[in-house]
Amino acid sequence: PNAPYSCEAGPFGYQWFRLTERTEPEMLAGARTAQPILNQFIGTQLSRAGLQDRNLALIGFSQGTMISLFTGLRRERPMAGILGYSGRLVGAEALAAEISARPPVVLVNGDADTLIPAAAQTAALSALESAAVPVEGHIRPGLGHSIDEAGLEIGRRFLARIFGLALP
């Protein structure tokens, strides 16, 4: 889905929470506000399609990764998995007390990302592993705040694995 708010940083696009404030408390407050919006959207879409949470994977880029991790790890029922590109884990300190689902997670970041440095992945992996979430991380050399073909292939293989699909 598109995020619910118009992007304040440009004339097009959407945001889940404010982009101008990048402090952890601000992002955490934004994620808490956006979480029920995403949960309602997911519930509606699953119901319309006649699917269960086990048929759901959340895939996000940047803020999409942040809200996918925040929401997916706090859903009542576990989903198939979460795939995140160029993002970070928001609310890591609260995760142990709030986690209710542990779907497998794959994170892909670039080592040349100046918006969300690759070190954010290291912190996310540590917090997710501490919360017993099956997680793997991939750092793409020379990649900025973007997705490359190798990252797409990592995502394709992850989705095939969690949904039990054979790859050509």
Strands 14-15, 57-61: pairing kind: unpaired
Each residue's pLDDT tens digit, 75-121: 999 999 999 999 999 999 999 999 999 999 999 999 999 999 999 99
pTM of the full predicted structure? 0.94
Each residue's pLDDT tens digit, 21-65: 778 899 999 999 999 999 999 999 999 999 999 999 999 999 999
